[in-house]
Structure 1
Amino acid sequence: MDFLDPLERTQVGSDVGTVVIARALDGPATPIEASWRDYIFAEIWSRPGLDRRSRYFIAIASAASSNGPVDVLDDYVRGALTCGDLSLIELREAALHIAVYAGWSRGVELDRSISRCAETLGLIPAAFAPIRGEPWNPQERVQQGIDEFNAVMGFPGPPPVTPFFEAGIDNFVFGEMWKRSALDQRSRRWITLVGVSESCAPTPIKTHFHAAMASGNCSAKELQEFVLQYAVHAGWPKASIIQGAVIAMIRNFEAGLGWDA
């Protein structure tokens, strides 16, 4: 039997962590501090199952949604900008996206972190496209949202029969936000998966994980890896719910079945 060297694991964690958060890791003074280096960075961030850009989206969205220490969120944002894995405008767009799926308070939390890190790094403010820059017909916007929902989710969007569906889902979420070009669909998908996972709402969880595969945005193996990355900030009990849903949706998808089969 081969044995793994704890000193090697510590070195890997130190090396990976220094890159991920763009600063040298402090020598741990407590077990929780040591676990960041020797487990989260050494054994999760170093895994080959997800590209680093995707891990940043998952980690940033999870940290923003967990109402945890702002310095943890700042570490991720600074690291993503320093590595060049995410641009300033992509992060600004991510803040808008997480606002929809985790609440505007969480979106503001991320947006303020981005501002702090951008100022520290001396970055020029990023220009952004208006939420909508041209006049529109309200009925056409509803239909555009329904069509975009179909493209993203793989089944028809909800009819505008309530304010939530009309003004929320059809008009803004899919009629405007998902159509914005500053983030590609795969990136938006990771943020969305964190948001629906945080909700613990069975239908959004099942539909979005199934759609992640049906759209080609994510592979089954990547979704399995997502659960572990998400667990860092959500905790293992909440992530276990998502693990069960992922297994079920992979089974349905590979059998050619819908999310509700």
Structure 2
Amino acid sequence: MKLQGKMSDMAVESKFLMRTLPVIRYLPPGYDPDRKYPLLIAQDGRDYLQIGRLFSTADEWISKTIIRPMVVVAIPYENPKSRWQLYHPDGSMRPSYLRALSEEVVPRITEQISIDSDPESRTLIGDSLGGTVSLMAALGRPDLFHGVIMQSPYVNEQIIEQIRSAGAVRTLSIYHSIGRGETAVRTTRGTVENFLRPNQVLHQTLSTYKPSHYTFHELDGDHTWRSWKPDVRSALLERFSV
């Protein structure tokens, strides 16, 4: 399907990661530089475009006035190994990635595109480890991001402790989903892990610390895009409905 809006590539030179970050951006139909737009940033960027159909779904629904016009930015990863290093709580490049996201990617986007400066209008989305790093980014920089969409995030005690110690939880608007079939997930590092129970603990913890808005869904699905693709549509409606 031909987009009514515009998709283009851009590159962000990152001193924190010591490499160029490829970024794919989407501008809504009738983009007006004099108007301020909400921003959605997708980790696992190419997966969200090619499998999750993020751009095409947003484009169709904006055109039909189902969701608000917004700018979407997708950040692809190089390979599974670098993805783990960038996204995992123990990843060697995770602190650098979080700084690159907030101090290089966002400023570059706002230089070129008319983005609303209100953190409530800025949302991060990701699946699995991409959901994890999205939550960590919002907890670490509530001055930039209030919105989080996390699909089947990886959860460990470090994540739970960060929520307990972060004063920013109450400012966040969070969409959180997990599949009931995610009890034996084979990870890219070869381990088999239960994602369902830690996400239930995450749900209990977030409910205790009371984000400004919090939606939690247990889906009849597993740790694949078979579950995440339709859930992307639910998340867009939850976060960006007119």
Q: TM-score of the superposition, structure 2-length normalised?
A: 0.31
Q: TM-score of the superposition, structure 1-length normalised?
A: 0.30
Larger Rg: 1
Query: Which is richer in helix?
Result: 1
